[in-house]
Amino acid sequence: MSDFSGDALSEQATFGAGCFWGAEASFRALPGVLDTRVGFARSDQGDATLIEVVQVDFDPRLISYSRLVEHFWTLHDPTSVDRQGADVGAKYRSALFFNSAEQAQLALVARQQLDASGQLGKPVATVILPLGEFQKADEEHQRYLEKHGGSACSI
């Protein structure tokens, strides 16, 4: 699973929004986010594809999981299947990996509400799956944009 070892009052969320560098930088900027790490995740249900993700450690007293999910929708095109910008392939799939039944329910409701709003013009393609495995990316990928300048992945 993960290498998360936060305090008892923190929680963890895992998001796949294409290029993990940009997603990590964006989540890090949110008040209430305690730490992030980028890597690859897959569910323990079916598909063995590793998806680029950012894991977010957050203080639920300062920012809710629902607020993180709302932010996730703005980071990428959740209607795109296996592609974000110039990045193509299953590892760039739009994905929400949940760590609890509560996170699963909140993510499913948020996806349903976004779909029902019609604001995207196409159905939301984001998969919502239980987190089965997380592999942390090499250190050179952690806080990449912070280390190398830039604020987003180039597309």
Tokens of residue 76, six digits: 């990428």
Name the phi and psi angles at 81, rounded to 5. Answer: -100, 120
Q: Which of 19, 69, 96, 106 is catalytic?
A: 19
Q: List Cα–Cα distances, 87 to 35, 45, 53, 92, 94, in angstroms.
A: 25, 24, 14, 7, 12
| CA angle, 97 then 100 then 102, to 5° | 105
Give the integer Cα–Cα distance in Å for 89 and 18. 10
Maximum alpha-carbon separation in the chain? 41
Known active-site residue 153: no
Active site residues: 19
